[in-house]
Amino acid sequence: MSDDGTNQGWGNGRPNGQQPPQPQWSGQQGWPQQAPGGQQAPGGTQAPGWPQQQQAPAWQQGPGWQQQPGWQPPRPIPLDEAGVPPLWAPWYGAGIGDAIGRFFRKYARFDGRASRSEFWWWFLTNAIIAAILGAAVAVIVTTTGTREMSTDVYGRTTSQLHTDSIWWLIPIWLWAAWFLGTAVGNIALMVRRLHDVNLSGFFAFFFVNTLGWIVLWVMAMLSPNPNGQRFDRPQG
């Protein structure tokens, strides 16, 4: 069976050369262009150019959807001639030197926001300093200490490294001084990073235990949220 008009009872012997009836909405190549009454293409197939009607999302329907609760248009951040944002604004794309300098310049500021680059460059700096001081302790104890063998009541032998030197305390004191000296700044930076993802800074109190630190690190990985600009203080 073919579609050349010889089927459905319209054979070669049709009277007076009468053609089979064609739908009024048939277009080129048999595809409908404008079906009456909203009819669809045969078999549910839609050809190129067939009109499509898409309904806007519910939050875009009707005027004034931009004024939905909590929605704020992004505020442009002014930059100076060197491309540096003011202190009250986050610095997206900051380098490690920029992040360290901004950490100390905004040491005790709990308002505003901090970008992921500001936060994680400073986190890396802290990790490097802790690793250097820890390695210094290990080197001092290893080079100045002696191993003492001991046997317990069950006959098990253990080895302990013992040193009479006090030099290994110097890196410990330095690390303690660094930790205490940057404690307020670390908390303030975490609060600003939470603000950048539009979360309350009170989540920073999660640092009281190990699980809380993990939760905070996950939060610090989140992308910026424009609604977080509600924490900005441009006058500051």
Q: Is 180 inside any structural domain? A: yes
Domain for residue 99, yes or no? yes
47 lies in some domain: no
Q: Would you say residue 112 lies in a domain?
A: yes
**183, part of any domain:** yes
pLDDT for res 171: 92
Does 32 map to a domain?
Answer: no
The span from the CA of 78 to the CA of 56, in Å, is 34
Whole-number pLDDT of residue 39: 52
| 217 occurs within a structural domain | yes
pLDDT of residue 22: 52
Q: 219: domain range?
A: 95-128+166-224
- Give the separation between CA 84 and CA 80, rounded to whole angstroms: 5
In a domain, 219, yes or no: yes
In order along its 236 residues, the chain shows pLDDT tens digits of 434 444 444 444 445 555 555 544 444 444 444 545 555 545 444 445 544 444 444 444 444 444 455 556 677 888 888 889 999 999 999 999 999 999 999 999 999 999 999 999 999 999 999 999 999 998 988 888 777 777 777 777 777 777 777 888 999 999 999 999 999 999 999 999 999 999 998 998 887 777 888 999 999 999 999 999 999 998 75
Domain count, the chain: 1
pTM exceeds 0.75 for this model:
no
